[in-house]
């Protein structure tokens, strides 16, 4: 059982101030989100709100995830980082591989990659990428990333696929250990993709019962794809467990259920929402992270 503290929509100065605090508190991971830009209007509903609206303002900060990780890695030495999640089909896979391999090496190989599709048609239109092929392209992009960031250092790689095609090339520096790749999304296609090509699955906020149902589905899909014996982690944010000592039994029970299905559990916690103080205040966030370290992780 491991613990992850997400830094969602944090200002840049909060990232730098709180990364060493999270490391000292004993957290295993910091998760960082991804958003390229905020279209003033969107032609699709946000999938994780009741009315389909976005819950963040236009000027909400989203520091580019690879830049954020590189900066935070420079002020820490142990804690790991995971993207939650990079909208991979908006990007060129070779450029992502270059960013990922570089930040992996610079951080001492403390980076894991969470990937997702993006739900915003305008993001695809304005980055000149195709929305209708996003799932198939993500699958192929993961193949490319595993080839270029799969460990063993720099070596020649080539790829000839449906959507991407390139001859033999070498990308250096390149990590010695494979970068673990996790898949986000709660739809059946997303869960099947995670079971088929991922090293884990990343959730949005969910109840423990929702997480248990997804874990059972993932176990069934992993059997279907003959991957039940491969290491697989669920990085989840259970909203009905308090991120303090009183929640230990809840985390423990959920971890046992996940482990019984042949997977491991990493729990995201956002303790600054449980203090009664301003959850956007830097001091409140710092104190809450320290308290979770003392009351929960220790």
Summarize pLDDT for 124-135 with one digit per residue, the tens.
999 999 999 999
Eight-class DSSP state of 176: S
Output the domain CATH number for residue 289.
3.20.20.30
How high does pLDDT run on average in the chain? 96
In a domain, 135, yes or no: yes
* Per-residue model confidence (pLDDT) at position 219: 98
Q: Is residue 222 part of a domain?
A: no
- Determine the pLDDT at residue 247: 93
Residue 61 predicted with pLDDT over 90: yes
Classify residue 163: in a domain, yes or no: yes
Residue 6: inside a domain: yes
pLDDT tens-digit series, residues 174-205: 999 999 999 999 999 999 999 999 999 999 99
Q: By residue range, what is the domain housing residue 89?
A: 2-185+274-297
263 and 25 in contact (C-beta within 8 Å)? no
Residue 198 lies inside a defined structural domain of this protein: no
Q: Is residue 79 part of a domain?
A: yes
Has residue 49 got a pLDDT over 90? no
Residues 6 or more apart whose Cβ sits within 8 Å of residue 51: none
What band does 151 get if pLDDT is binned at 50, 70 and 90? very high
Q: What is the pLDDT of residue 236?
A: 98
Number of domains making up the chain:
1
Q: In this structure, is residue 193 part of a structural domain? A: no
* Cα-based distances in Å from 169 to 94, 101, 102, 140: 10, 14, 16, 17
- Per cent of the chain over pLDDT 90 is 96
Residue-level pLDDT at 50: 87
> In the prediction, which pLDDT does 288 show?
97
Task: Say yes or no to pLDDT of 48 above 90.
Answer: no
Please indicate, yes or no, if residue 81 is contained in any of the structural domains. yes
Q: C-alpha angle 87/90/91, rounded to 5°?
A: 100
């Amino acid at each position: 059982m491991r613990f992850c503290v997400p830094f969602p929509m944090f200002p840049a100065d909060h990232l730098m101030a709180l990364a060493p605090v999270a490391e000292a508190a004993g957290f295993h991971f910091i998760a960082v989100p991804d958003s390229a830009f905020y279209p003033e209007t969107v032609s699709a509903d946000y999938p994780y709100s009741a009315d389909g609206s976005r819950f963040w303002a236009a000027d909400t900060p989203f520091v580019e995830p690879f830049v954020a990780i590189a900066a935070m890695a420079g002020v820490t030495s142990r804690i790991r980082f995971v993207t939650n999640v990079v909208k991979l089909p908006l990007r060129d896979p070779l450029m992502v591989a270059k960013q990922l391999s570089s930040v992996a090496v610079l951080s001492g190989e403390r980076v894991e990659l969470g990937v997702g599709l993006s739900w915003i048609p305008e993001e695809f239109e304005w980055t000149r990428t195709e929305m209708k092929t996003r799932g198939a392209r993500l699958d192929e992009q993961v193949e490319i990333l595993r080839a270029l960031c799969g460990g063993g250092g720099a070596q020649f790689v080539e790829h000839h696929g449906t959507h991407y095609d390139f001859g033999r090339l070498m990308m250096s520096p390149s990590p010695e250990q494979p970068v673990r790749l996790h898949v986000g999304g709660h739809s059946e296609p997303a869960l099947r993709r995670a079971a088929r090509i991922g090293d884990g699955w990343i959730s949005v906020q969910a109840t423990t019962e929702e997480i248990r149902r997804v874990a059972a589905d993932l176990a069934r899909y992993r059997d279907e794809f003959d991957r039940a014996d491969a290491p697989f982690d669920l990085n989840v944010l259970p909203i009905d467990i308090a991120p303090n000592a009183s929640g230990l039994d809840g985390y423990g029970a959920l971890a046992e259920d996940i482990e019984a299905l042949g997977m491991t559990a990493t729990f995201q916690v956002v303790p600054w929402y449980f203090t009664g103080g301003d959850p956007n205040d830097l001091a409140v966030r710092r104190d809450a992270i320290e308290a979770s370290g003392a009351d929960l992780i220790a």
